[in-house]
Structure 1
Amino acid sequence: MSQGNPDSLSGKIVTLLGGSGFLGRHVVQELFARGARVRVASRNPDKAWSIKPLSNLGQIQFARVDVSKLDSLARVLEGSDAVVNLVGAFDGNLDAVQGSGAGRIAAAAKAAGAQAFVHVSAIGADAGSDVTYARTKAEGERAVLAEFPSATIVRPAIMFGPDDNFVMMFGELISRMRMLPVFAPEAKLQPVFVDDVAESIAIALAAPEIHGGKTYELAGPEIYTVLELNQRIAASEGRKRALVPLPDGLGGLIAALPGTPISTDQFKLLKAGIEASGTLPGLAEIGVTPRPLELFLDRWMTRFRNHGRFGTKSAIA
């Protein structure tokens, strides 16, 4: 599929709402490469200050915004040629953040004169789900398209990268614990490289006439069970670990307890699996060749090996 003119974003003002997070920082760098002028707007824009040295003079701006307030949205979106909504959460008032709130953001972007709008949802968005996160994600998609019909919806799977809180979290845990319980061990995951998602977003912004009004599921080329993923990470660290698969009943009971590493809703989402449905276009259709986790894993896990890069993968500890 045509990606449109990659230079069409050159000099354009692209506002990233929620742009100081993991995905936002990678989208910023993709937009820099395309010559865009980027406005990073979030409740805590200082979290993205580390990106500033990567920009050219005058290419980045930071702004504080409260997306629940229309006047705050209007101020931060003023003059935007394109907008990306990255706002989301797992707890709190999810309707206000990613349900009806997403529609409010889309309406504000339209009022500001934005010509392109990308809304980041999630694989597993389901209006009929009993999990608030999944249900409000679906409701947010519907609200966005009602206000901005030419918006592009992207639904990423779990994203991985050298600065993620997914593969790196498992890497840290495996390096420290000789025995590790595994929740939903047989659940299937189809993780996607964060830079492939960032590129997809930029492509959609550059060619709204091609990608507007469409929904894409962004998933990687590999499918792992949760247990297989942990085993692969341990192997990349050169560590022999006792990975203990938890029966789903026990996993659900633990998730319901306060202070555990996973909530009940997160456990339900994980148990259901996080993989592409196959009913929607994906990375290939938007024009991106997906890169597998295997391409990076051994290199990224070096930091967790005994003696780091001076150690060997075969060392068992």
Structure 2
Amino acid sequence: MENVNGRSQTGKLAVVFGGTGFLGRRAVRHLRRHEFSVRVASRHPDRGRDLFGSDDSRIESIEVNIHNEPSIARAVAGAYGVVNAVSLYVERGRETFHSVHVEAAHHIAAQAQQAGVERLVHISGIGSDATSSSPYIRKRGEGESAVRAAFADATVVRPAVMFGPDDTFITTIITLLRRFPVYPMFGQGLTRLQPAYVEDVGEAIALILQGSETGTTFECGGPRVYSYKELVSALAREAGVKPVLLPVPFAAWHALSRMLAILPSPPITRHQVALMQVDNMRSSEMPGFEQLGISPRAVEDIIQTMLRGR
């Protein structure tokens, strides 16, 4: 596969569903740097206007209901490219993994196809598997199939677990490391992770929309693979703390997540526990950052910036 080149996209419109989220807002900014006009489609357009301001006339924030096809159709009208960066980590009422990651993803792809959109980028995740026993992982896998059924040339981007300022991954670990002398680990801390910097994933999305290749699946992992224990230890060193790392069996985590499920915003869910039982690394057989001409940044390259922001 050839590297994606740097063609100008001045005047072309990209629509980003979930454009105010952790990854979505980075995708918006990288698309603008590549001279796309951007329509930010989200439930809360005021949040988009707060994030991106009113100085840039090429960023438009609109309200969209991803469960309503006419609403999606209005959002994608006139677009060259569409990015679906909508994600859900905790099910609430009608907002389920199936309704968001499968049904809504299919609606977005179908409406993009009907509108004559040339490029569709669907954000999934490394490890997505339609045969998994985990509802979250399974629906991610089913969502990829649903998107491709509606838009055959869709490009799927599977990031590894992402990190960056205001994330819910490394920021949470650092908070716990600083607050408590003992840090409870998932199992023995042996699960392998390949964290990806969110800005690198945002740039990957922009380059994919800019390029000519379609129908590919990219797996985007950072430059280093850690065991969970190695990652926590590295973060502790960077933060200047020396906690005791306490192995906690996964059975105990599952029991805790069931008890916490009664809370409106549980600090940990059974789906997150299930994810931590599975290695989160890109396959060497899949294209990734390198094929896009991106040199991904490691946790150690960014962590001090994150620490200074806390």
CA RMSD of superposed structures (Å): 1.7
Give the 3-state SS of the residue equivalent to 2:120 in structure 1: strand
Shift of the alpha carbon at 1:18?
0.9
Number of the residue aligned with 2:27: 27
Number of the residue aligned with 1:308: none
Give the 3-state SS of the residue equivalent to 1:182 in structure 2: strand
Give the 3-state SS of the residue equivalent to 2:183 in structure 1: strand
Distance in 2 between residues matched to 1:262 and 1:163, nearest whole Å: 17
Give the 3-state SS of the residue equivalent to 1:278 in structure 2: coil
Conservation of the 8 A alpha-carbon contact between 1:156 and 1:217: yes
Distance in 2 between residues matched to 1:168 and 1:133, nearest whole Å: 22
Number of the residue aligned with 1:103: 106
Number of the residue aligned with 1:164: 167
Structure 2 length normalisation: TM-score? 0.91
After TM superposition, the runs of 4+ consecutive aligned structure 1 residues lying more than 4 A away are none
Structure 1 length normalisation: TM-score? 0.89
Shift of the alpha carbon at 1:120?
0.4
Q: Closer, same or farther in 2 for the Cα pair 1:230/1:50, shift >3 Å? A: farther
Number of the residue aligned with 2:81: 82
Note the residue ranges of structure 2 that are not aligned, 5 or more in a row. none
Matched, 1:300 2:306: yes
Distance in 1 between residues matched to 2:305 and 2:98, nearest whole Å: 40
Matched, 1:148 2:147: no
Give the 3-state SS of the residue equivalent to 1:133 in structure 2: helix
Conservation of the 8 A alpha-carbon contact between 1:21 and 1:47: no
Matched, 1:214 2:216: yes
Number of the residue aligned with 1:311: none
Number of the residue aligned with 2:209: 205
Matched, 1:3 2:4: yes
Conservation of the 8 A alpha-carbon contact between 2:4 and 2:291: no
Letter in 2 for 1:197: V
User: What are the residue-to-residue correspondences of 1:114-263 with 2, within 5 Å?
Assistant: 114-184=117-187, 185-207=189-211, 209-210=212-213, 212-258=214-260, 259=263, 261-263=267-269
How many residues end up aligned between the 2 structures? 300
Give the 3-state SS of the residue equivalent to 1:234 in structure 2: helix
Shift of the alpha carbon at 1:300?
2.3
Give the 3-state SS of the residue equivalent to 1:6 in structure 2: coil
Conservation of the 8 A alpha-carbon contact between 2:66 and 2:72: yes
Conservation of the 8 A alpha-carbon contact between 1:227 and 1:245: no
Q: Closer, same or farther in 2 for the Cα pair 1:49/1:227, shift >3 Å? A: farther
Distance in 1 between residues matched to 2:30 and 2:293, nearest whole Å: 15
Identity fraction in percent: 36
User: What are the residue-to-residue correspondences of 1:276-287 with 2, within 5 Å?
Assistant: 276-287=282-293
Conservation of the 8 A alpha-carbon contact between 2:182 and 2:244: yes
Letter in 2 for 1:119: H
Note the residue ranges of structure 1 that are not aligned, 5 or more in a row. 305-317
Shift of the alpha carbon at 1:56?
5.2
Q: What are the Cα deviations for residues 277-315 of structure 1, in whole angstroms up to 9, with x where unaligned? A: 3332111123221111111223422455xxxxxxxxxxx
Give the 3-state SS of the residue equivalent to 2:49 in structure 1: helix
Distance in 2 between residues matched to 1:299 and 1:265, nearest whole Å: 30
Q: Which of 266, 270, 274 matches 1:268? A: 274
Letter in 1 for 2:14: V
Q: What are the Cα deviations for residues 190-238 of structure 1, in whole angstroms up to 9, with x where unaligned? A: 100111111111111012x32x011011111111122221221111111
Q: What are the Cα deviations for residues 40-99 of structure 1, in whole angstroms up to 9, with x where unaligned? A: 11112333334324x753111111111111111111111111100011212242222111
Number of the residue aligned with 1:51: 51
Give the 3-state SS of the residue equivalent to 1:181 in structure 2: strand
Shift of the alpha carbon at 1:113?
2.0
Distance in 2 between residues matched to 1:56 and 1:42, nearest whole Å: 20
